[in-house]
Amino acid sequence: MAAGAIPATKLAYFDNMWAVQATATLLSHLETEDGRRALILDSTIFHPQGGGQPADTGFISGAASGFKFVVEDARLKDGLVYHYGSFENPQDDCVSIAKEGEEVSLYINPQRRDLNSRLHSAGHLLDICIRKMGLSHLEPGKGYHFSDGPFVEYKGIIPPDLLQIKSKELEKEANALILAGGKVSAPVLSYNEAAECCGGVLPSYIPTDSAPRIVKLGEHPGCPCGGTHVADIADIRNLTADAPHTNGMP
């Protein structure tokens, strides 16, 4: 099937963020413009890279033909999730053993997903702490939830002599909240419900006619998010705040 004719991939992790195995239907098996092999399914539990969260890895196997496709990367483009990788047995690729319409089984790497979810939830927890500490004047920007140095960017000013102290306070506050725990959920809500859940207002990039997905950590205010998260704040386990990197005084 040509990519343009394929219906949007259902993001199954919206319904269940913790499923690491699932079945789906193979809709397309293609070589992309950059020469990579990709599988497109009707639905997926693989989180494609985006929103500061890395892609899931794992594998997809064909129920009837028996192929095994190792997924090294997943990306969302025009509503379709491209699972990039290669066939474990190169011969499977030569004869295109994977058949469109075939039922496939999906397995994601659970350790990698768990780490990604912990790092992503920790990013949202930091945001909650910033507000609790009376630093709401800091405007949140980019979140980077990769394991090689995760951070959340804020725009605003903290006097340089307070940076270290605030960083330690932040770490203390975050670890107290982790210790207290609290259920994490990420429902898709109507715009008005979502706004209420997020403390009354939604960021301007959320269209008013949309149904945003909101991540909610315990009883703290929610935040629009498309990522995967831990089931309980306690599952973040611990958080260490590095000295903040600053861009200097304006």
Kindly state the tokens that stand for 186.
Answer: 């990420």
Q: Any idea what the Cα angle at residue 13 is, between residues 202 and 53, rounded to 5°?
A: 65
Question: Shortest distance, CB of residue 105 to Zn ion, whole angstroms?
Answer: 28
Task: Round to whole Å and give the CA distance between 137 and 159.
Answer: 13
Minimum distance between the CB of residue 216 and Zn ion, rounded to whole angstroms?
Answer: 11
Look up residue 241 and give its two tokens.
Answer: 């705040």
Output the smallest distance, CB 119 to Zn ion, in A. 10
Q: Tell me the β-bridge partners of 103.
A: 25
Stretch that binds Zn ion, among 4-12, 109-117, 186-194, 217-225 (CB under 5 A): 217-225
| Dihedral sign, Cα of residue 131, residue 135, residue 141, residue 144 | negative
Residue 27 in contact with Zn ion, rule: CB under 5 A: no
Q: Which is nearer to Zn ion, 150 or 227 (CB)?
A: 227
Residue whose C-beta lies closest to Zn ion: 225
Closest CA to 51 of 116, 131, 114, 107: 116
What minimum distance in Å lies between the beta carbon of 215 and Zn ion? 6
Stretch that binds Zn ion, among 68-76, 77-85, 102-110, 222-230 (CB under 5 A): 222-230
Site string for Zn ion, 169-208 (x = CB under 5 A): ----------------------------------------
Scanning 23-31, 170-178, 181-189, 225-233 for contacts with Zn ion by CB under 5 A, the matching segment is 225-233
**How far is residue 228's CA from residue 158's CA, in Å, rounded to a whole number?**
31
> Which of 227, 230, 236, 239 touches Zn ion (CB under 5 A)?
227
Distance of closest approach, residue 43 Cβ to Zn ion, in angstroms = 21
239 touches Zn ion (CB under 5 A): no
Stretch that binds Zn ion, among 9-17, 54-62, 63-71, 219-227 (CB under 5 A): 219-227
Rounded to whole angstroms, what are the CA distances from 194 to 184, 199, 230?
15, 9, 20
Q: How far is the CB of 141 from Zn ion (least distance, A)?
A: 13
Closer to Zn ion by CB, 104 or 152: give it.
152
Strands 43-44 and 10-11: parallel
Q: Cα separations (Å) of 244 from 143, 152, 170, 197?
A: 14, 10, 11, 29
What distance in Å separates the CA atoms of residue 9 and residue 47, rounded to the nearest whole number? 11
Instruction: Count the site residues for Zn ion by CB under 5 A.
Output: 2
Spatial separation of the C-alpha atoms in residues 24 and 105, rounded to whole Å: 6
225 interacts with Zn ion by CB under 5 A: yes
Tokens of 189: 């809500």
Give contact residues for Zn ion (rule: CB under 5 A).
225, 227
